Amino acid sequence: MRYAVLGTGSVGRTLAGKLATLGHEVAVGTRDPSATLARTGTDAYGNAPYAEWQAAHPAVALVTFAEAAAGADAVVNASSGAASLDVLAAAGAANLAGKPLVDVANPLDFSHGTPPSLDPVNTDSLAEQIQRAFPAAKVVKTLNTTNAAVMVDPARVPGPHSVFVSGDDADAKKAVTALLESFGWPPESVIDLGGIATARGTEMLLPVWLRLYGVIGHPDFNFHIARA
């Protein structure tokens, strides 16, 4: 498969690296490839410059958002939640049409300080905003409730734990579930919550995740839904 991963942060790098390891053709999307490669020093989250990651992953292309999406069979939104609609507009509605759009972003709002709140929240979600803005894309929300490293290596967290999928297109959800299984998620760990509006619930798990991170002190944990 040809994947476009829109985002050069730790999530974009982690997912792109895993997809390439699995034998997929991967293009990472960014605003300005030259500017991204020219960055030095760590970013706001402490990630090494993208050029260092690129040197270690020569098979992964770095192109514009539009170039990445144009050449892809499936697209991953791994951009800042506040910028995701702009990023996807730059990718181009026509380049997203008919394709699974795996949305792992969280609509974090830092305008009220830290920890961040969410915008949108409760009566809407980022995933729904994306689906409304790009009606021909097949948006599937998933993986936003775990740390990037756990997304592609769920065994980092011992024991059974859960990952959620939300989306209106059954075939796209099936394809994304198969992708999750290729990342190492056991079939029984994947919980299909239903349509894209159910992403309101998984996006609202982020405030809980952030408080757990504060208590646990590292990101190798996850939610486990135990049931009778």
Ligand X SMILES: NC(=O)c1ccc[n+]([C@@H]2O[C@H](COP(=O)([O-])OP(=O)(O)OC[C@H]3O[C@@H](n4cnc5c(N)ncnc54)[C@H](OP(=O)(O)O)[C@@H]3O)[C@@H](O)[C@H]2O)c1
User: Which residues of the chain form contacts with ligand X (CB under 6 A)?
Assistant: 7-12, 30-31, 36, 45, 78-81, 83, 86-87, 104-106, 108, 144, 147-148
Question: Tokens for 50?
Answer: 């993208």
State which residue, 110 or 170, has the beta carbon closest to ligand X.
110
State which residue, 111 or 228, has the beta carbon closest to ligand X.
111
Residue nearest to ligand X (CB): 9
Length of the chain, please? 228
Residue 26 CB, nearest distance to ligand X (Å)?
14
Residue 228 CB, nearest distance to ligand X (Å)?
29
State which residue, 86 or 171, has the beta carbon closest to ligand X.
86
State which residue, 5 or 171, has the beta carbon closest to ligand X.
5
Residue 91 CB, nearest distance to ligand X (Å)?
10
CB contact at 8 A, 189 and 117:
no
Residue 37 CB, nearest distance to ligand X (Å)?
10
- Helix pair 126-133, 84-91: axis angle to 10 deg: 30
- Kindly list the distances between the CA atom of residue 198 and the CA atoms of 37, 161, 162, 165, in Å, as whole numbers in the listed order: 37, 19, 15, 9
State which residue, 144 or 166, has the beta carbon closest to ligand X.
144
CB contact at 8 A, 140 and 166:
yes
Q: For residue 51, count CB atoms less than 10 angstroms from its CB and return exposed for 0-12, middle for 13-18, buried for 19 or more.
A: middle
State which residue, 112 or 227, has the beta carbon closest to ligand X.
112
Question: Tokens for 52?
Answer: 């260092």
Residue 152 CB, nearest distance to ligand X (Å)?
11
CB contact at 8 A, 79 and 87:
yes
Residue 68 CB, nearest distance to ligand X (Å)?
11
Question: Tokens for 226?
Answer: 């135990």
CA separation for the pair 79, 98 (Å, rounded): 20
